[in-house]
Amino acid sequence: MHLRRLKRIEGQVRGLERMVDEEKYCIDILTQISAVTSALKSVSLELLAEHMSHCVARAAQAGGQEAEDKIAEANQAIARLVKA
Helices 26-51 and 64-83, axial angle in degrees (round to 10): 170
Contact 59, 69 (CB under 8 A): yes
Query: Shortest Cβ distance from residue 38 to its own copies (Å)?
Result: 5
CB of 65 to its own copies, least distance (A): 12
* Residue 42 to residue 30: CA distance in whole angstroms: 18
The Cα 41–Cα 31 span in angstroms is 16
Residue 4 CB, shortest distance to its own copies, in Å, is 10
